[in-house]
Amino acid sequence: MSGPAAGAFYGIGLGPGDPELVTVKAARVLKSAPVVAWFAKAGRRGHARAILDSWLAGDVTELPLVYPMTTERHFSDPVYVEALSGFYAQACEAIAAHLSAGRDVALACEGDPLFYGSFMHLFVRLRDRFRVEVIPGVTGMSACWSAARAPMTWGDDALSVLPGTLSEEDLAWRLETCDAAVIMKLGSNLPKVRAAIRLAGREGDAIYVAHGAQPGEEIRRLVEKPDDDAPYFSMILIPGEGRRP
């Protein structure tokens, strides 16, 4: 006698923070999924879980996936690599247990699941074992440039999305050769990023946005930011000024 048909694994983009920016499709799947998972830092409820308050059904099984570490060590540190690899393997098996029992699992992801998202580490491990569907979400960068009322690309402008973890020299070179840019992963990298922007001659165009589409939203020109403190949910926008009608 055959067992239950395997459940489906959904990677669901929740958007940048505002619950009203969750798509209709994402909301429908979240309300119907028997198991909903999300990532969180140890000791914290997690940003994704806060967004889910508006969408979870009362009888859902919640599956928090708690990182063993986040920024405590550099991402290239062997200890960090080993810890995260083990974490993703354990998370996959926790999800696979539900899927094998015939229960769909929705993994709620901040922003878009396939854009700098932890979902991708589970996706590549599970896609050959189960049916996986990805539901896109509003990215943090589009929320930030909308909040800043900053048109980013005109005509033939080329947009570069850069992680602040790159070296100062690499950041400066890329900023010199693109029309528009979004710089993510600021945090402790902001002093280096600021220096690279200055080196590339783009400081006058740079806009700092923190907590875009979230409570506590902050928008200002980078030259008007007096300190180098930057939360996780922050980025710098450098709009293009290309071909306009």
pLDDT tens digits for 139-175? 999 999 999 999 999 999 999 999 999 999 999 999 9
- Whether residue 112 lies inside any domain: the answer is yes
CA atoms within 13 A on the CB side of 23: 18
The 234-238 sheet, strands edge to edge:
159-163, 180-184, 234-238, 207-210, 218-221
Answer yes or no: do 111 and 173 share one domain.
Answer: no
Answer yes or no: do 188 and 88 share one domain.
Answer: no
pLDDT for residue 233 is more than 90: no
* Count of domains forming the chain: 2
So what's the pLDDT on residue 165?
93
So what's the pLDDT on residue 71?
56
Task: Report residue 120 as tokens.
Answer: 């991708």
So what's the pLDDT on residue 2?
53
pLDDT for residue 73 is more than 70: no
pLDDT tens digits for 45-67? 888 999 999 888 778 999 999 99
Model confidence band, residue 243 (pLDDT cutoffs 50, 70, 90): low
So what's the pLDDT on residue 44?
83
Answer yes or no: do 15 and 108 share one domain.
Answer: yes
pLDDT for residue 78 is more than 80: no
- Whether residue 61 lies inside any domain: the answer is yes
Answer yes or no: do 188 and 101 share one domain.
Answer: no
Predicted TM-score (pTM) of this structure: 0.89
Range of the domain at 35: 8-138
Domain boundary among 111, 138, 165: 138
So what's the pLDDT on residue 181?
98
- Whether residue 244 lies inside any domain: the answer is no
pLDDT for residue 245 is more than 70: no
Answer yes or no: do 61 and 48 share one domain.
Answer: yes
Answer yes or no: do 41 and 134 share one domain.
Answer: yes
